[in-house]
Structure 1
Amino acid sequence: MAGKVYLIGAGPGDPDLLTVRALRLLQSAELVVHDRLVSPEIMALVPSAARRVPVGKSAGFHSVPQDRINEILVELALEGHSVIRLKGGDPLIFGRGSEEAEALAAAGIPYSYIPGITAAQGASASTGVPLTHRGLATGVRYVTGHRAQDATLDLAWESLADPDTTLVVYMGAGNMAEIAARLIAAGMPVDLPVLAVSHATTPRETRLLSDLTQIGADLARAPMEAPVLFMIGRVAGLYETAALPLPRDLRSAHLRVVSNG
């Protein structure tokens, strides 16, 4: 008899932000298929006796292709295992959880989703910068800045270049200079603030405050470790007055970085 697969969102990294159901399932897990970017604090909750199957992917290097991940989940479930599929953030927001669910459904394997706090919400809470704010942003949009190798970064630039909406870019560190240039070309103000947050909500969190003109050069001077999230919009300008502190605050004229490392 096939086992069940639980597609679990691990949230942005802080174990205190897990749902109660996610925590309960992790603490009783026997087999965990996990992404590379699930924080070590989250992984520490998995029982030491549990089998761990890493399937992590990183920019430019996919240790396990997505099609193979789908196969692994099906194979393990058909062996009768109860499988925890652990993903950073939320499995249904740039997490490819629905693709894995399709493969499971096609094989007749039961599954369920356990949502997680997505990185945008985690970064907003940890930095103190809101995603929406009266008079600054009437809405928020999430996009991915990742592209397949040699593919064109094809986004609806004219639609995204709306200064009244906060634009949150996931997985965009390697392409941020191009993203900024395309947004400016589509009409976004050149001095629009950009807040980049690495490892949001964890002890390794690092922040960089810049603007659309400078963000590419700033990242070249001070590369940030993945996962990095970008909050683009007027709300990012609130960082100067509303930011929740980190112990160390490093600033310069064009490169304003804060870190607790």
Structure 2
Amino acid sequence: MKQGKVWLTGAGPGSSGLLTRRGEEVIEKADLIVYDALVGEEILSMLPEKTEKISVGKRAGRHSASQEAINELLVKEAKQGKWVVRLKGGDPFVFGRGGEEVLCLQEAGIPFEMIPGVTSAIAVPTYAGIPVTHREDTSSVHIITGHPQKDGADRTDYEALVRLNGTLVFLMGISNLEKILRHLQEAGMAESMPAAMIEQGTTARQRKIVATVGSLAERAKEAEIQAPGILVVGKVCARSEKMEWREKQRLFGKRILVTRERKKAKDLMAMLQEEGAEVWNLPTIETIPLEIEKETFETLEGKDASCRGREKWFVFTSPVGVECFQRLCRNYKKDMRDFQSDQSRLKIAAIGSGTQVRLMEMGWVADLVPEEYNGKELGRALGKESAEDAKIFLIRAKQGSEDLTEALYKAKRNWAEFPVYETALKKRESDMERICQLLEQDKVDLYTFISSSTVRGMAEMVGVSCLKGKEAVCIGAATAATAREYGMKVLVAENATIESLVKAVLEWAKSGGN
């Protein structure tokens, strides 16, 4: 049995972009992830699906597990030989009780590692356009807990804080906001001192109220500011209006669900995040490469009499198809030379630019890419470009679209299906209760789908009722039609590319989406 170990890891304030690289590394190799309620949903959606997860849900006023119970859990699981990541919002050692957990592990003889996180005390003001220091305003910043002691007493020396004349950042102070501001004024702070309250900083639901020490409590009450949030007091708060940047991003405030497998969705997610969206990843299908016998694979070489002297086409309808075909080539030690011969002239067609790029990475250049990236146009283009007696191999999914074959039929072309992979509905057993609850509570602003199977997978996973009336951006008319069958409001990307999908999302947001 391997030796158990615990990594106390900071998840940052919410945005997945603020999770450290070291944090990502240990998350990927963990057997168990024990996480708090303050870990951002964007980060939770990227946790490895097969990894065991336990929510201990610590949040002010809603403790679902005591600190003692959490300590015992970490020790117990590590003693069973598990690699445990204790994932905590922000930095575990800035009022996160990480020190208590470390001491408990040390006393139990459990190996541990401390991985700092980006603290909300610095990141959240930054995302709100507030620099916690500025040479013209202050030369110091001070982080204070907004929670009283266990006995209810507040032992903060407010007079000392006021004398420091620095930026004051109070964490977990929303419930005591009025008291904190009153104590600061009683200690001599001018009621005109700029102050700000920031709710759910770095996430899509970020809100800020910038006022003064004298008026902030009332303003926050009117706006119904809720936890989690932080209080910032100091001259730097007055710079927020000029320095704000987050609110200017085109997808700020939008939560977007991506339904592709994470590995294949990285580019799409990065592009949406670059525009300011909070992106949740929930794969609804999985790709399963098909095992094909060598003898069957070699039929593509066209050595039999039916192919001799005829033009031969390999037609790829997705990057996944190219990857699975390449895998078979590696397995059977084949390359371009094996498929090209005097007896059968090989040409290659790709449905779109993404597939074309994958082929180029393989060293193959597509002879044909339709102007519109869909099966119908690909079939029409093949009908025009291919010889009447051409042998056309459709190298694609087992459940391929009929649009392509209908177009080939109309063009009176002969084709043969050569499936190299199949898609299956994703069986997600872990954290389904949390996911369904989020969707039922309308926490998602927009769904994105790249195929009909991803739509059906979502309906199967969360139920048809969760999709009715929701907004979606789709690639392809067939995908859009499937989404409409489930009662969704649909916008269709102009082309079957990730860039076109993002463009459609931006158009949706510009038109006041959600």
Q: Same fold (TM over 0.5)?
A: yes
How far is 1:240 from its partner? 2.6
- RMSD across aligned positions (CA): 1.8
How far is 1:223 from its partner? 2.1
Q: Which residue identity does 1:19 align to in structure 2? A: T
How far is 1:166 from its partner? 0.1
**CA offset digits 1:71-101 (Å, max 9, x no partner):** 1111111111110000011111111111000
Distance in 1, Cα, partners of 2:242 & 2:196: 13
Distance in 1, Cα, partners of 2:35 & 2:246: 31
Q: Which residue identity does 2:189 align to in structure 1? A: M
Distance in 1, Cα, partners of 2:233 & 2:163: 10
1:107-126, aligned counterparts within 5 Å?
A: 107-126=108-127
Q: Which runs of 4+ in 1 moved over 4 A?
A: none
Q: Which residue identity does 1:155 align to in structure 2? A: T
**For the structure 1 residues 54 and 198, does the alpha-carbon distance in structure 2 shift closer, same or farther, using more than 3 Å as the test?**
same
Q: Which residue of 2 aligns with 1:252?
A: none
SS of aligned partner of 1:178: helix
- Contact preservation (8 Å) 2:126, 2:132: no
1:181-260, aligned counterparts within 5 Å?
A: 181-246=182-247, 260=253
SS of aligned partner of 1:63: coil
How far is 1:63 from its partner? 1.1
- Contact preservation (8 Å) 2:125, 2:198: no
Q: Bigger radius of gyration, 1 or 2?
A: 2
Q: State whether structure 2 residue 28 is matched by structure 1 residue 35.
A: no
**For the structure 1 residues 4 and 245, does the alpha-carbon distance in structure 2 shift closer, same or farther, using more than 3 Å as the test?**
closer
How far is 1:161 from its partner? 1.4
1:102-141, aligned counterparts within 5 Å?
A: 102-141=103-142
Q: Which residue of 2 aligns with 1:251?
A: none
Distance in 1, Cα, partners of 2:227 & 2:201: 10
- Contact preservation (8 Å) 2:30, 2:85: yes
- Contact preservation (8 Å) 2:10, 2:92: yes
Q: Which residue identity does 2:77 align to in structure 1? A: L
**For the structure 1 residues 118 and 7, does the alpha-carbon distance in structure 2 shift closer, same or farther, using more than 3 Å as the test?**
same
Mean Cα deviation higher: 141-150 or 7-16: 141-150
Q: Which residue of 2 aligns with 1:173?
A: 174
Distance in 2, Cα, partners of 1:153 & 1:59: 16
Q: Which residue of 2 aligns with 1:79?
A: 80
How far is 1:48 from its partner? 0.9
How far is 1:16 from its partner? 1.1
How far is 1:148 from its partner? 4.9
Distance in 1, Cα, partners of 2:44 & 2:104: 25
Q: Which residue identity does 1:238 align to in structure 2? A: R
Distance in 2, Cα, partners of 1:79 & 1:43: 24
How far is 1:190 from its partner? 0.6
Distance in 1, Cα, partners of 2:168 & 2:90: 18
Q: Which residue identity does 1:260 align to in structure 2? A: G
- Contact preservation (8 Å) 1:136, 1:164: no
Q: Which residue of 2 aligns with 1:57?
A: 58
- Contact preservation (8 Å) 2:129, 2:241: no
How far is 1:2 from its partner? 4.6
- Contact preservation (8 Å) 1:2, 1:109: no
- Contact preservation (8 Å) 2:142, 2:167: yes
Q: Which residue of 2 aligns with 1:89?
A: 90
Mean Cα deviation higher: 107-116 or 1-10: 1-10
**CA offset digits 1:15-50 (Å, max 9, x no partner):** 111111111222333210000010011111211111
**CA offset digits 1:94-146 (Å, max 9, x no partner):** 11111000000000000001111100221132122111111211100000001
Distance in 2, Cα, partners of 1:71 & 1:64: 11
Distance in 2, Cα, partners of 1:46 & 1:19: 14
**For the structure 1 residues 77 and 185, does the alpha-carbon distance in structure 2 shift closer, same or farther, using more than 3 Å as the test?**
same
- Contact preservation (8 Å) 1:199, 1:205: yes
Distance in 1, Cα, partners of 2:131 & 2:176: 24
Q: Which residue identity does 2:7 align to in structure 1? A: Y
Mean Cα deviation higher: 186-195 or 140-149: 140-149
Distance in 2, Cα, partners of 1:88 & 1:61: 15
**CA offset digits 1:201-253 (Å, max 9, x no partner):** 111211111211112212221222322011100000111322225159xxxxx
Query: Where in structure 2 are there 5+ consecutive unaligned residues?
Result: 255-514
Q: Which residue identity does 2:238 align to in structure 1? A: G
Q: Which residue of 2 aligns with 1:45?
A: 46
How far is 1:163 from its partner? 6.5
How far is 1:187 from its partner? 0.6
